[in-house]
Structure 1
């Protein structure tokens, strides 16, 4: 029997120690962030800004992969088929994570069991906007009183049946307590065009997309669907001051696949938080009317679960189905 030399033993021990280190090395190759919307939109801009900073911090290229279609299902399915090693991540909104599973009878993945929230990136409240020539009421309380005095006679536009903006309108209708007529459009842009023209009197829109028209005076913002005022619309109250408990916030989060090693999740979380705290991101948040979401990672599953319940109830009340 040939006994190993001392040098061989040392080399073998070194290799044994190095193997776990190599296995734990992250990232070991370029990373990919899937975005369920086309390039140039709000979610894409946020994903690219975060991706650039993660690339610098992690020492690997971060590629943004836009996979629009089917309300985010196309990106979600591609993500679900990737490896749970942290090299592929998903930037997703409440629509993909919380709303779609209530809208669709069947989905090729389950965001509850397949995906894991790693970090919240930003949030924007939805905002109630009106055409002041059609609905001249200067305050939210007066608008609510007008709608209650004219049941079934006030229409509201939306970005389409089952969209977050439609469901927000349905939550508003339920909170006001009288019938309103939903007018669906093929997206937020054509709905806003008709709002400005006076063809539809009111709608909910994302704060970032509504701001130019509000600031230009074409439409009036009467309430934000957040718990507090937003710096982008000083003086515009939360809708909850008139309709208690009303809340509709469009958040964007970074998700990994369930089964991703904990050290990888921890590093992604830490570097993402560091990126969001930088001066460039602070400027982006201000310019795009984003608000930060400093929720600890340990609290994110409960947050997502609560949001899922909120939007499931809104889908059920609206009767909307996507298939």
Structure 2
């Protein structure tokens, strides 16, 4: 994020909070806990960062903020649950590019409409992803090694993801198409079980959030082959980008908070301001940094624009790959 954008956000935040009075501010029904619903199992990056933002929000709001995991159906179960929740500001979705810009192209029917059933509150983080191979491919040291092996064994190698149509699934499909490769996709119910399968040698490789890959690679069982980022990551400076390797691909993951569509404008405005202030917390920042991610506060309007732009990209990709689920 540019220094200019940070200045604008902080100036707007200061003005907003001044209008709210001294923290902690409390909105309607604040005696009830505020729930942040995560669409995936505990242990994945969505859950970790939801819990990281919950702590400073609790202190700021003077209200318990808890994380509730509702995994399944690519995140649509959690998103549908929040869409039907009472629109009082006490139930939020920790959505991501999967739930807001991809999944509607995968499933014929969803229990929610990403455009009309959920109101954007703010972006929270932008998270880089990297390609990690497991111990089953111990002979693979570089992307070149992987490409050569995959070409010699078409359809034999496997890659994991946290669900059909997830950002990490689509990233791998784009890589395979770019290199003319064929592999078997093995989807899981969340990031943690998928990564564990790679670590155990049950699945050969996977695109993984950078922080999880860094932690997994420390004992030498796995190897990070490349990042899907425009530039090398500070967390993983040894990992070349795909573009450095001659593969013109760049994809990443973003997380954002959403409220039910009927939530009053004033409540959403207050939540946005509170989330932005919570993101200044050192504990939150430290967790984000360990994930190789960056805080990325936004207005509700710019978040809505982002998810719309991303839909144009991923809608065309899903159509080209002909990925469909009932």
By the TM > 0.5 criterion, same fold?
yes
- Paired residue total: 297
Equivalent residues in 2 for 1:277-292 (5 A)?
277-292=280-295
Gap change, CA 1:48 and 1:145, over 3 Å in 2 = closer
Gap change, CA 1:132 and 1:318, over 3 Å in 2 = same
Equivalent residues in 2 for 1:273-312 (5 A)?
273-312=276-315
Counterpart CA distance in 2 for 1:149 and 1:163 is 25
Question: Given that residues 209 and 291 in structure 2 are in contact (C-alpha distance below 8 angstroms), is that contact kept between their aligned partners in structure 1?
Answer: no
* 2:53 alignment counterpart: 50
Residue 192 of structure 1: how far off its partner (Å): 4.4
Equivalent residues in 2 for 1:194-209 (5 A)?
195-196=198-199, 200-209=203-212
Structure 2: any 5+ residue segments left out of the alignment? 1-24
Residue 254 of structure 1: how far off its partner (Å): 0.6
Question: Given that residues 156 and 181 in structure 1 are in contact (C-alpha distance below 8 angstroms), is that contact kept between their aligned partners in structure 2?
Answer: yes
Please state if 1:213 is matched with 2:213: no
TM-score by length of 1: 0.79
Equivalent residues in 2 for 1:240-259 (5 A)?
240-243=243-246, 245-259=248-262
Question: Given that residues 128 and 203 in structure 1 are in contact (C-alpha distance below 8 angstroms), is that contact kept between their aligned partners in structure 2?
Answer: yes
CA RMSD, 1 decimal: 2.9
* 1:152 alignment counterpart: 154
The match for 1:123 among 126, 132, 136 is: 126
Counterpart CA distance in 2 for 1:58 and 1:284 is 21
Equivalent residues in 2 for 1:128-147 (5 A)?
128-131=131-134, 134=137, 136=139, 138-140=141-143, 142-143=144-145, 146=148
Deviations 1:255-291 (A, max 9, x none): 1233433332222112111111121112112233332
Q: Which segment is superposed worse, 206-215 or 265-274?
A: 206-215
Counterpart CA distance in 1 for 2:198 and 2:43 is 23
Deviations 1:174-205 (A, max 9, x none): 222x1312231435556545645666543322
Gap change, CA 1:180 and 1:298, over 3 Å in 2 = same
* 1:28 alignment counterpart: 28
Deviations 1:220-243 (A, max 9, x none): 212111222222211212223335
Gap change, CA 1:296 and 1:94, over 3 Å in 2 = same
Secondary structure of the structure 2 residue equivalent to 1:239: coil
* 2:184 alignment counterpart: 182
Gap change, CA 1:264 and 1:220, over 3 Å in 2 = same
Counterpart CA distance in 1 for 2:193 and 2:120 is 33
Residue 26 of structure 1: how far off its partner (Å): 5.0
* 2:8 alignment counterpart: none
Gap change, CA 1:161 and 1:114, over 3 Å in 2 = closer
Question: Given that residues 29 and 87 in structure 1 are in contact (C-alpha distance below 8 angstroms), is that contact kept between their aligned partners in structure 2?
Answer: yes
Question: Given that residues 155 and 181 in structure 1 are in contact (C-alpha distance below 8 angstroms), is that contact kept between their aligned partners in structure 2?
Answer: yes
* 2:176 alignment counterpart: 173
Gap change, CA 1:88 and 1:183, over 3 Å in 2 = closer
Deviations 1:114-157 (A, max 9, x none): 212211111222211235884756444x3476379658366241
Residue 77 of structure 1: how far off its partner (Å): 1.7
Q: Which segment is superposed worse, 281-290 or 105-114?
A: 281-290
Question: Given that residues 130 and 220 in structure 1 are in contact (C-alpha distance below 8 angstroms), is that contact kept between their aligned partners in structure 2?
Answer: yes
Question: Given that residues 27 and 60 in structure 1 are in contact (C-alpha distance below 8 angstroms), is that contact kept between their aligned partners in structure 2?
Answer: no
* 1:7 alignment counterpart: none
Residue 56 of structure 1: how far off its partner (Å): 2.1
Greater gyration radius: 1
Question: Given that residues 156 and 169 in structure 1 are in contact (C-alpha distance below 8 angstroms), is that contact kept between their aligned partners in structure 2?
Answer: no
The match for 1:96 among 86, 99, 121 is: 99
Gap change, CA 1:149 and 1:74, over 3 Å in 2 = closer
Residue 106 of structure 1: how far off its partner (Å): 0.7
Secondary structure of the structure 2 residue equivalent to 1:157: strand
